[in-house]
Amino acid sequence: MTVGFRSDISSITKGNSITKGSRSGDMEVDGGCKETVIGNEAVQNAKSSNPRRRRLLLSTDSAFADTVLPSLVQNPYIELRLITDEPSALLTGTKKIPHYMDTVDSQTFDKKTGARKWLKAKTAELCEWADMLLVAPIDAGALGAMLAGLTNTLTLALLRGWVSKKPVILIPGMTVSEWDHPLSTRQLDEIGRFWPWIRTVKPVLWKSNGPEDLTILPWDGLEELHQTLETTLKLPPWEATLSTRSIPHSATVPAKMASKSTSGNATGSTPQTPHTGNADFLPLEIWLNVFEDQVRDWEIAKAVGIPTHLPVPQEWQSHLPKMSTTATLEYTILRGSFAAIKKRIDALPRWKPLSDLACHLIVKFSRTDILSYLTENHLDLLWTTSRLTNIPYRASAIYGNPNVLTWWRDAPALPNKEYMADAMDGASRAGFIDVLDWWLHSGLPLRYSERALEAASAEGRVAVLDWWKTASSNAPLSNPLPLKVGKSVLLAAQSGRTASLAWWDASGIPYSHAENVARIASTHGHVHVLEFWYKLKGPKMIFDNQVLVGPTKNGHDHVLQWWKSCGMRVEFKTCDIEEALEDADPSSGAEGRVRRWWERNGLNLGVGTSEWMRSKVL
């Protein structure tokens, strides 16, 4: 199942068709107007011994499909067909569900077939096939068109020609003002009196969210919908099907995706070999736990179709599917097929850079197929997109993606393989050991600086420090890999990383600046570092008479107290402390805290010049 389970609706426009997304140009319908098969793998795995499944015909739109579709697809007692103007490419992963477009016009069909002829034939066929019609949602215009008997869309034609012995469920979808309008009440009353085979479920409502923008209100009608389906179609309780609902293995996320977002089938990139056996499927509840409690990544969940309740990131608000609009390139990259993505790219103006979000998705999900397409067909887009001209850094330091690095190294259209030291430095900072391995075996000259070990030490990346030590010791004499220590121990002390300090002390690698560790730790308020360093060095711990200046200036009275209680001889000068007190921030209370501490511990600022400059013992 690869369709998410959220009400990702941010806009709606008026119209008189139920599925208002005018996307028929994107529908993959052949010349003979056969339906496009887009899939239901869960249905294919239903036991053949089961009685005939209930045939449900669902008419939905791009904005609401993710809310109702997942649970229907996963129910093994339902055989589903779809009516929607949603491009089939955006419903990838469901391979066997017949899919019909709702909007028909003369441009879609050849003269021999004809739009009206196809509409009549398909309406008769589906009326005979289906046990129930579910329209989710039906807007105010479509509701009025239904009552008037109009048949300009497939959904309206079905409602007009429906066999009254079979049930229909409507989920109204309107703005708050439309729903509160007396005409809506009158229309629903008319349906209740003269259309007894139709039942309505709790409506989906929108409210204004600025000019030309609508936001969906929370909708809790899914349980009511399930209960209505159970009662009307005589289905087993919906909860009883939970243990049988599952996510196919092909939609799983690679183990590393949570940390470095490598590619997966759901994004249309390199296919993976399917597994067989009972391990192919996991209950949906387990996947929900994995994605909501562990991965916590809306984009990954959306890409593979896990119906989570993760919040929609702010940068995605303007890219969510909206009625009467074409899916954006960004949303197509996230959910669509490669063919749909190429079509979107081909429609872009020349020399217009791709958006930051599009570049983010390409690298995050290892979309090397898109990168290759750009280099082969749209080099102008590639060169004008700054985020794609520095692939070594972004793939190494931000996304930790060796797949994209391999593509960059091997791409014939990119003969220049120059890169900056920030690629390996950034990989060290982020802890991407597999990226460091890639660079080591890439065949390219290794470029790095002191920041590699400094950043790893500051972040507490002991595994990265181990990697550098091992790689350096195993490097051949003809191609050495010198360790650039820099100020690693100072960065570790500044960040409070005692694990890094312990590693450097035990590594046997010469390092400098040990005499400044205590001063840096004091300045940044890290008592635990002072305690660790004292335990490690004992009375031989080196520090100078400036060790109390930093904590005084920064308001760390607890550090001052540690030095007073440590039992070592700690010297200071009154002039240094007075200057530090003057530099302390009074608004945060830092100055008051340390001034009171010094007063309690005998500091006298009203002394002569010679006394003011003389070293004293704490």
Give percent above pLDDT 90 in the chain.
49
CATH homologous superfamily of 34-241: Flavin prenyltransferase-like (3.40.50.1950)
575-591 pLDDT, tens digit per residue, is 888 899 888 888 788 88
Please name which of 135, 143, 210, 133 lies closest in space to residue 174, comparing C-alpha atoms. 143
Confidence band of 277 (pLDDT split at 50, 70, 90): very low
pLDDT, mean of residues 315-330? 80
Name the pLDDT band for 308 (thresholds 50, 70, 90): confident
Q: What is the pLDDT of residue 398?
A: 96
Query: Sorting pLDDT into bands at 50, 70 and 90, what band is 210?
Result: confident
pLDDT tens, position by position, 441-469: 999 999 999 999 999 999 999 999 999 99
257 pLDDT more than 50:
no
Residue 418 makes CB contacts below 8 A (sequence gap 6+) with none
Contact 357, 392 (CB under 8 A): no
Mean pLDDT value across the chain: 81
Q: What is the pLDDT of residues 82-114, one digit of tens each?
A: 888 766 545 544 556 788 888 876 555 656 667
Tokens of 166: 């079979």
Among 94-98, 191-195, 399-403, the least confident range: 94-98
CA angle (599 as vertex; 595, 601 as ends), nearest 5: 120
What is the pLDDT averaged over residues 466-489? Answer: 95
Taking the domains of the chain in order of start, what are their residue ranges? 34-241, 544-618
- Residue 440 scores a pLDDT above 80: yes
Q: Beta partners for 138?
A: 172
Cα–Cα separations (whole angstroms), residue 35 to 83, 126, 128, 130: 10, 12, 16, 15
Q: Which amino acid is at 70?
A: P
Q: Which residues contact 246 (CB under 8 A, 6 or more apart)?
A: 42, 74, 281, 282, 283, 284
